[in-house]
Amino acid sequence: MLKSFSLEGKTAIVTGAGRGIGKAIALAFAEAGANLLLVARTEEQLVEVQKEIGNGRTHYAAADITDREQVKKAVGKALGEFGAIDILVNNAGMNIRSKADEATDAEWQTIMTTNAQSVFIFSQEAVKHMHAGGSVLNVSSVAGVTALKTGVVYAASKAAIIQMTKVMAMEWGERNIRVNSIGPWYFKTPLTEPLLDDEEYLNAIKAVTPLKRVGELPEIASPAVFLSSDAASYITGQTLFVDGGMTIHGFS
């Protein structure tokens, strides 16, 4: 049974792999035995993650995941290095915090393109080369299902990912390619540190989280390994909220 949790011999692409949740997932995938292509905009970050993994089975592609031609090149590099693509993790994302009546057209375009359209583009290009047994894992957010202070545009982009996950799973299931997503709440990352350093805000987060704490990065990486492995071979179209129970309450 434990062998089904291994990613040994599988090739995975992880976007947004230079820091935070993407880096944590990449490190966990490497530990589980996967060949890796790390993708992010910043090459310096990718070099550091590659060095940290240091297994000789990890390569990287600096790319803008909203640009289809650059995505195609990244996919081509994975195929060139490893000959196959078994797993895609669409993790890259961003936010600009604006209230609903203040968000601009430019903010909408930037957030939706980076968070949602990139999932669509990268999934299309990677799945072309996946065989039966392949897996796509999209990183959404609890913001996709409940009201947060992260802003309406971010929430819309993450809800879009959840719905894309369902439709892609339905369409690609005939080819035995699974599509799932995970919905994190607050985790300790470089992007969330400024918010979590605010004691009042941190206490508000804990107040609506039944486990009364924010998540540690290994706690999001482990579910990512599970959903991408053969141990989850009969799970598709689902969103697993890794949130300490927060979605029971919401956070308005």
Instruction: Please give the positions annotated as active site.
Output: 154
Give the C-alpha separation, 5 to 227, whole Å. Answer: 9
- Helices 118-127 and 68-82 sit at what angle, rounded to 10 degrees? 40
3-class SS letters over 146-165: CCCCCCHHHHHHHHHHHHHH
Going by C-alpha positions, the residue among 162, 163, 151, 217 that lies closest to residue 186 is 217
Enter the tokens of residue 15: 């976007």
Q: Which amino acid does the sequence have at 94? A: M
The answer to whether 251 and 185 are in contact (CB under 8 A) is no
